[in-house]
A and B are shown apart, each in its own frame.
Chain A
Amino acid sequence: MPGEPRPDAALGLDGVPHTGEGISPDGHLIEPQAEDFRSASLVPRDPNWFKNAVFYEALVRAFSDADGDGTGDLRGLASRLDYLEWLGIDCLWLPPFYASPLRDGGYDISDFRAVLPEFGSVEDFVYLLDEAHRRGIRVVTDLVLNHTSDAHPWFQQSRRDPDGPYGDFYVWSDDDQRYADARIIFVDTETSNWTYDPVRGQFYWHRFFSHQPDLNYENPEVQEAMLEVLRFWLDLGIDGFRLDAVPYLFEEEGTNCENLPRTHEFLKRCRKVVDDEYPGRVLLAEANQWPADVVAYFGDDAIGGDECHMAFHFPLMPRIFMAVRRESRFPISEILSQTPEIPSGCQWGIFLRNHDELTLEMVTDDERDYMYTEYAKDPRMKANIGIRRRLAPLLENDRNQQELFTAMLLSLPGSPVLYYGDEIGMGDNIWLGDRDAVRTPMQWTPDRNAGFSQCDPNRIYLPAISDPVYGYQAINVEAQLNNSSSLLSWTRRMIEVRKQHPAFGLGSFTELGSSNPSVLAFLRRLASDEGTEDIVVCVNNLSRFPQPVELDLSEHQGCAPVELTGGVQFPTVGELPYLLTLPGHGFYWFQIVRTVDDGEAR
Chain B
Amino acid sequence: MSEVPEPSELVSGLVAGLPGWLPNQRWFAGKDRPVLAVRPLRSTVLHDGDPLLVHVMVEVEQQDRREPYQLLVGDRHELPDHLRSSWIGPGYEASADSDATAPLLDLIAGNSRVDTLVFETEPGVQLETGLRARPITSEQSNTSLVFGHQYILKLFRRLTPGPNPDLVRHRALHAVGCEHIAEPLGSITGELAGQPTTLGMLQPFVADAVDGWAMATTSVRDLMAEADLHADEVGGDFAAEAHRLGHAVGAVHSDLDRALGHEQLGPERLAGVVAAMQRRLDAVLTSVPELGAYEAELRAAFDKAVDAEESITVQHVHGDLHLGQVLRTVSGWLLIDFEGEPAAPAEDRVALHSPLRDVAGMLRSFDYAAHQLLVGQPEDHQLARRAMEWSRRNRDAFCDGYAEVATRSVGDPRGHATLLRAFELDKAVYEVAYEHANRPEWLTVPLSSIARITTEGDHQ
Q: B149, B218, B219, B244: which contacts A552 (Cβ < 8 A)?
A: B149
Task: Please give, as numbers and ranges, the residues of chain B lying within 8 Å of A364 by CB-CB distance.
Answer: 237, 239-240
| In the assembled complex, A543 has its CB within 8 A of some CB on chain B | yes
A325 touches B328 (CB 8 A): no
Q: Nearest Cβ distance between residue B354 and chain A, in whole angstroms?
A: 29
- The residues in B between 217 and 242 inclusive whose CB is less than 8 angstroms from any CB of A are 218-219, 221-222, 225, 235-237, 239-241
Q: Decide if B208 is an interface residue (CB 8 Å cutoff).
A: yes
CB–CB B236/A327 < 8 A: yes
B193-228: contact bitstring with A at CB < 8 Å (1 yes, 0 no)? 000000000000001111100110011011001000
A517, CB-defined interface residue at 8 Å: yes
Cβ of A545 and Cβ of B330 under 8 Å apart? no
Stretch of A273-281, A329-337, A493-501, A591-599 on the interface side: A329-337
Contact A326 B214 (CB under 8 A): no
- Does A157 interact with chain B (Cβ within 8 Å)? no
Please tell me if A121 contacts chain B, counting CB pairs below 8 Å. no
A543 to B234, CA, bound (A): 13
> Which residues of the partner chain B approach A82 to less than 8 Å between Cβ atoms?
none
Say yes or no: A517-B215 contact (C-beta < 8 A), given A325-B236, A327-B222, A552-B207.
yes
Chain B residue numbers with a CB within 8 Å of A366 are: 240
- In the complex, A554→B136 CA distance in Å? 13
**A371 within 8 Å of B by Cβ?**
no
Chain A residues with CB under 8 Å of B149's CB are 552
State which of A325, A337, A515 has its C-beta within 8 Å of the C-beta of B330: A337
Q: Please give the number of chain B residues whose Cβ is less than 8 angstroms from any Cβ of chain A in the complex.
A: 28
Q: Give Cα A515–Cα B211 distance, bound, in whole angstroms.
A: 7
* Binary contact readout A366-379 vs B (1 if CB under 8 angstroms, 0 otherwise): 10100000000000
A518 contacts partner chain B, Cβ-Cβ < 8 Å:
yes
- How many residues of chain A get a CB closer than 8 Å to chain B's CBs? 26
Question: Would you list which residues of chain A between 320 and 358 have a CB under 8 Å from chain B?
Answer: 325-328, 330, 333-334, 337
Q: Is A363 an interface residue (CB 8 A)?
A: yes
Residues of A within 8 A of B214 (CB): 515-517
Which of B149, B208, B243 is the most central at the interface, judged by chain A CB atoms within 10 Å of its CB? B208
With beta carbons under 8 angstroms apart, the residue of A337, A365, A517, A543 that contacts B331 is: A337
A315 to chain B, nearest CB (A): 14
| B207 lies within 8 A of A513 (CB) | yes
A544: which B residues are within 8 A, CB to CB? Answer: 225
Residues of B within 8 A of A514 (CB): 210
CA distance A386 to B138 in the complex (A): 45
User: How far does the Cβ of A512 sit from chain B's closest Cβ, in whole Å?
Assistant: 8
B82: CB under 8 A from chain A? yes
The smallest C-beta distance from A143 to any residue of chain B, in angstroms, reads 36
Instruction: List chain B residues, Cβ under 8 A from A552.
Output: 149, 207
Residue of B nearest to A555 (CB): B149
Instruction: Establish whether residues B240 and A543, one from each chain, have CB atoms under 8 Å apart when the complex forms.
Output: no
Decide: A328 and B218 in contact? CB cutoff 8 A.
yes
Would A326 and B211 count as touching, CB distance under 8 A?
no
Query: Which A residues touch B241, using CB under 8 A?
Result: 365
Q: Check A327/B218 contact, CB under 8 A, given A337-B331, A554-B134.
A: yes
Proximity string of chain A (573-597) to chain B, C-beta cutoff 8 Å, 1 when within and 0 when not: 0010000000000000000000000
* With A365-B241, A517-B215: A325-B208 Cβ-Cβ less than 8 Å: no
**A224 interface contact, C-beta 8 A:** no
Contacts of A85 in B (CB 8 A): none
For residue A293, CB closer than 8 A to chain B, the reply is no
Query: B218 to nearest A CB, angstroms?
Result: 5
Q: Is the interface of B mostly helix, strand, loop or mixed?
A: mixed
Q: Which residues of A contact B239 (CB under 8 A)?
A: 364
How many A-B pairs with Cβ below 8 Å?
A: 63
Query: Which of B138, B207, B208, B221 is the one whose CB lies under 8 Å from A545?
Result: B221
Kindly state the separation between the CA atoms of A337 and B214 in the bound complex, as whole angstroms.
Answer: 21
Cross-chain contact A517 with B218 (CB below 8 angstroms): yes
Contact B235 A513 (CB under 8 A): no
Q: Enumerate chain B residues within 8 angstroms of A325, measured Cβ to Cβ.
A: 235-236
| Chain B, range 119-136, C-beta contacts under 8 Å to A | 132, 134
Q: Which residue of B lies closest to A337 (CB)?
A: B330
Question: In the complex, are the beta carbons of B240 and A330 less than 8 A apart?
Answer: no
* Shortest Cβ distance from residue B405 to the other chain A in the assembled complex, whole angstroms: 16
Whether the Cβ atoms of A513 and B243 lie closer than 8 Å is no
Closest residue to A554 on the B side, CB-wise? B134
Give 1 or 0 for each of A502-518: 1 = CB within 8 Å of chain B CB.
Answer: 00000000010111111
Nearest CB on A from B265, distance (A): 37
Q: Cα distance A511–B241 when bound, in Å?
A: 21
Smallest distance from the beta carbon of B214 to chain A beta carbons, Å? 5
Residues of B within 8 A of A543 (CB): 218, 221-222
A543 to chain B, nearest CB (A): 7
A365-B240, A366-B240 known; A515 vs B210 contact (CB < 8 Å): yes
Complex-state Cα separation, A412 to B330, whole angstroms? 17
A333-B330 in contact (CB<8A): yes
- Nearest chain A residue, comparing its CB with the CB of B328: A330
Q: How far is the CA of A180 from the CA of B416 in the complex (A)?
A: 51
Which residues does chain A contribute within 8 Å of B82, judged by CB atoms? 575
Residue of A nearest to B332 (CB): A334
B330 x A517 contact (CB < 8 A): no
- B237, B240, B328, B330, most chain A CB atoms within 10 A: B330
Q: A333-B330, A337-B331 are in contact. Are A511 and B218 (CB under 8 A)?
A: no
Known contacts A365-B244, A552-B149, A554-B134; A517 and B328 CB within 8 A of each other: yes
**Which A residues are in CB contact (< 8 Å) with B207?**
513, 552
- B210 in contact with A517 (CB, 8 Å): yes
Across-interface contacts of A363 in B (CB, < 8 A)? 235, 237
Q: How far is the CA of A340 from the CA of B350 in the complex (A)?
A: 42
**Bound-complex Cα distance A337 to B208 (A):** 11
Please, which residue of chain A has its CB at the minimum distance from the CB of B209?
A: A513
Residues of A within 8 A of B225 (CB): 544-545
Contact partner of A326 (CB less than 8 A), chosen from B138, B236, B243, B330, is: B236
Residue on B nearest A575 in the bound complex, by CB: B82
> What is the chain B residue whose CB lies nearest that of A322?
B235
Residues of B within 8 A of A575 (CB): 82, 134
Q: How far is the CA of A514 from the CA of B210 in the complex (A)?
A: 7
**A328: B residues at CB distance < 8 A:** 215, 218, 236
| CB neighbours of B243 from chain A (8 A) | 365
Q: Complex formed: what's the CA distance from A516 to B328 in Å?
A: 11
A115 to B82 CA separation, bound complex (whole angstroms): 71
Tell me the smallest distance from the CB of B234 to a CB of chain A, in Å.
Answer: 9
Instruction: Give A327 to B149 CA distance when docked, in angstroms.
Output: 26
In the bound complex, CA of A53 to CA of B241 (Å): 37
Residues of chain A within 8 A of B328, CB atoms compared: 330, 517
In chain A, what residue has the closest Cβ to B327?
Answer: A515
Q: State in angstroms the CA–CA spacing of A543 and B223 once bound together.
A: 12
> In the complex, are the beta carbons of A518 and B218 less than 8 A apart?
yes
Contact indicator B330/A334 (Cβ below 8 Å): yes
Q: Within 8 Å CB of B221, what residues of A?
A: 327, 543, 545
Q: Measured between C-beta atoms, what is the minimum distance from B286 to chain A in Å? A: 38
Q: How far is the CA of A134 from the CA of B381 in the complex (A)?
A: 66
Q: Which chain B residues (161-220) contact chain A, with CB distance < 8 Å?
A: 207-211, 214-215, 218-219
A-B residue pairs in contact (CB < 8 Å), sample of 7: A326-B236, A328-B215, A334-B330, A363-B237, A514-B210, A515-B210, A515-B211
Which 4 A-B residue pairings sit nearest by Cβ, starting from the closest?
A: A365-B240, A513-B208, A325-B235, A517-B210
Having A326-B236, A515-B214, one finds 14 other A-B pairs with CB under 8 Å, namely A325-B236, A326-B235, A330-B210, A337-B330, A363-B237, A364-B237, A365-B243, A366-B240, A513-B209, A516-B210, A517-B210, A543-B222, A552-B149, A575-B134
A residues within 8 Å of B by Cβ?
A: 325-328, 330, 333-334, 337, 363-366, 368, 511, 513-518, 543-545, 552, 554, 575
